[in-house]
Structure formats: C-alpha cells, structure tokens
Amino acid sequence: MSEMMKAIVWDGTTYPDSLSMRDWPIPEPGPGWVLVNNKAAGICGSDLHYLLGYTRHLIPDRNLPAILGHENAGVVVKVGPGVTSVKPGDRVAVEPLHGCMEFGGSCPMCRVGKYHLCQSGLTHVGIPIVKMLPGGYGEYSIVHETRLFHIPDNVTFEEAALLDILAVNVHAANIGRPYMGDSAVVLGCGIIGLDMIPVLRAAGVTNIIGVAKYEFQAEVAKRVGAKEVVVMHKGTDPVQEVMKLTGGLGVDQVYECVGGETDALDQSVAMCAPGGAVISLGVFSGRRPVDLLAFLFKEVKILASNSYATAPSGKREYQISMDLLRDGLVDHKNLITHRYAPEQWREAIDVAIAKGKQHAIKTMFIRE
C-alpha cells in the first residue's frame, strides 16, 4: 500500500464545495524523476479561474480529481534511478513546465529548448490539462530533475516559489530586448506587472511608468522601481495619463500584463511612441479590438510573450530568475502579503479571490 500525504484536492466542480483536505498517495519517482516535499506554494490567478469555473473546460475529466499549485519550492526527499543533479536534503525551486522530452518524446520545439511551445502537449506540475502531476497544494510533488533549481542560501522557499512569475517576466524582457535608457509602461500592476518592473530595471530601463488598478498596487510599484504610477480611478484614461507624463510622445515599450476581457492591447498600442513595441504577456479572452490604423501609422511592433523556457544565450530563464533573486536585483519580499497553513485553505483562497478588498498581491501556503 502506498504511503499517504495530506493535500488540498479539487474535484473539478465549482469552489468552495469543490475543495477538501484529504489523504492522497505519495507519488513514487521513476527514472529521472524526483520527489519534493513542498514548503511554499503560491495561489495563482489561473488556479482561481479553474476553481471558479471560468476555465474548467480546459481540464479533462480523466485528470480529476487533481492537486493544483504550480508555484512551489521545497526539499528533495527521494530521487529516482539515474538522477545525479540533486540529492535528498537539497533546497529546490520547481519549474512546473515539462515538455514532451521528459516523457520520452522529441518534438521539434523541445529539441531546440523551446519546450514552452511543445507540440506534443505541455505538461505542468499542478495544472492537470495534459497529465495530473500533483502540485504545491499537496505535501509532495514529483518533478523531473531537469526542472529543479538549487535555491541559494540567501533565498527563502517562499521567494523561490515565485520564480514561475519572475521567469515569465525574464522571458518577456528577452522577447522585447529593451535598450538601456528606453522608456517603458508596465500596464497592469498585479503580481506579474510588479515583478516586471525590477526585471526591466535590471535590463537598464529606469524610466518606467506603472499603470495600477488599486492604490496598494501603486505603492508597491513605486517600491520596486517605477518612476511614475497611474492609478485607475473612476474616469481615468490611462492613455491620456501616459501621454501627459511623456510630453505627448508615448514610450518606447509597453509591457501589457492585463489580458482578460479588456482593451489593454489597444491601450498599449496607443501608449507607444512611433516605432515602439508592445510586449503582450496578458491572457486575453477571445478576440479583442485594436486600432490597426494607429498600429500601422506608428509602426508599432506587437510581440507575444508566452511563459518561459530557454534564453537566446542558451541559459534557462528559470536559472536567470534565480540569479536575479540571489543577487538582490529582484526582491520578492515586497510581493508576498498573505501566508497561510494549508489547513487554512478556505481563508487563503477567499483572500486571493478578494485581492482588491484584501490588498493581496500574493497569497501563499507555507509548510513548516
């Protein structure tokens, strides 16, 4: 009989009745795989979308029930045959993305390091779209050894658990390739946008305007390096405010971190100076209108930035992100606002859902 762990398990129906704390078999790591005891796990907005039913259609019934949580870090407790890069006792961050090569495949994208574009089905720890690999809402996860990154002594588990967010921004900067001295707007100051600001500063961009929905987000945006912040009060036109701050010219780059059913992409084009670029990180719902005449006349480039993988240098973007944390160029302490034991899952999820009212930036599960 398998040993059991405690996990917050989702049955596929709508929150809150869909979640429960229950026993779950501890997975056994096979060749190349590693068992990690999760010490910190973030509650991502995408988790909430599944729980609230917005994106339930993406999850096949065969992968349910499931253990969510793809922002996690912990300690190696067991390694499978052939594992050499980590050993029991190592502190590690989990990169959730697994391409087909970790399962014996060899699609063209994975072979060249672009596993985030895997053609055979990208698998995530804690996101049961392709397979059910138990995530950070459980005590243990199994992870391929190529997706584990050693945590430096000066980085905590909870800081390292947010590397999934930081790597998204590192990838966006690698897509956008800003020049030192460029001006930029970070449109949307949720946790993605707030982590985008210090990444841009590390790349040499210091003239950064943040556009925030809430005052508490604006305060954090200034702490992490935004020069100016526009807060979306009722009646505020963010495009007009950006144009005022730039003398009517606009900025060299806009990092769009909103998505959803919004006009953020259209606003991003309008905020660009002639010849500027929009780097779109937001996940939009279906088709959104864009002023194509402005796009054409200003020669604005629109670049999609999806997740993360391998940088043009050949270095993994997850490792680049860990190095930024280690060297103090990014500080995740500013972003973690609410911490809960897994047994307090109902309160934690409620806070994450009501982030505006609760002034929550990142809510996390912490295990001793």
Q: In this predicted model, what pLDDT tens digit does every residue of 98-117 receive, in sequence order? A: 999 999 999 999 999 999 99
How much is the average pLDDT of 122-144?
97
The C-alpha atoms of residue 245 and residue 225 are separated, in whole angstroms, by 17
Q: Is the pLDDT of residue 69 over 70?
A: yes
- pLDDT value of position 235: 86
The 10s digit of each residue's pLDDT in 258-303 is: 999 999 999 999 999 999 999 999 999 889 999 999 999 999 999 9
Q: Which of 101, 83, 81 is nearest to 92 (CA)?
A: 83
Q: How far is CA 106 from CA 102, 112, 310, in A?
A: 9, 10, 16
pLDDT at position 246 over 80? yes
Quote the CA–CA distance of 120 and 161 in Å, as a whole number: 27
Distances (CA, A) of 26 to 10, 88, 116: 17, 16, 27
The H-or-E segment that residue 352 falls in is: helix 345-353
**Would you give the distance in Å from CA 302 to the centre of its chain?**
21
Q: Does the structure show a pLDDT above 60 at 58?
A: yes
Distance CA(94)–CA(88), nearest Å, equals 15
List, for residues 335-351, the tens digit of each pLDDT value. 999 999 999 999 999 99
Please state the domain extents for the chain.
4-162+335-366, 165-304
| Tokens 């990690």 belong to residue | 36
Helices and strands: H and E segment counts in the chain: 12, 17
- What confidence score (pLDDT) does residue 368 get? 83
**β strands within 43-192, DSSP E:** 72-79, 91-94, 97-98, 123-124, 140-144, 148-150, 183-187
224 vs 161: CA distance, rounded Å: 19
pLDDT digit string, tens, across residues 9-52: 999 999 999 999 999 999 999 999 999 999 999 999 999 999 99
3-state SS, one letter per residue, for 50-70: HHCCCCHHHCCHHHCCECCCC
What DSSP designation does 11 have? -
What local confidence, expressed as pLDDT, does residue 286 receive? 84
Cis check for the bond before 108: say yes or no (omega within 30 of 0).
no
Is 216 a residue whose pLDDT tops 70? yes
Confidence bin at 334 (pLDDT 50/70/90): confident
The CA distance from 215 to 157, in Å, is: 28
What is the SS3 assignment for 80?
coil
How many degrees, rounded to 5, is the angle at CA 223 between CA 333 and CA 354? 65
What CATH architecture applies to the domain 4-162+335-366?
Alpha-Beta Complex (3.90)
**pLDDT band for position 233 (50/70/90)?**
confident
Same fold, 4-162+335-366 and 165-304: yes
**Whole-prediction pTM:** 0.97
Please provide the average confidence, as pLDDT, over all residues in the chain: 97
Which amino acid, 13? T
Q: CA 227 to CA 330: how far, in whole Å?
A: 16
| Contact call for residues 138 and 76 (beta carbons, < 8 A) | no
- Out of 3.30.70.1380, 3.90.180.10, 3.40.50.10740, 3.40.50.1370, the CATH code matching 165-304 is 3.90.180.10
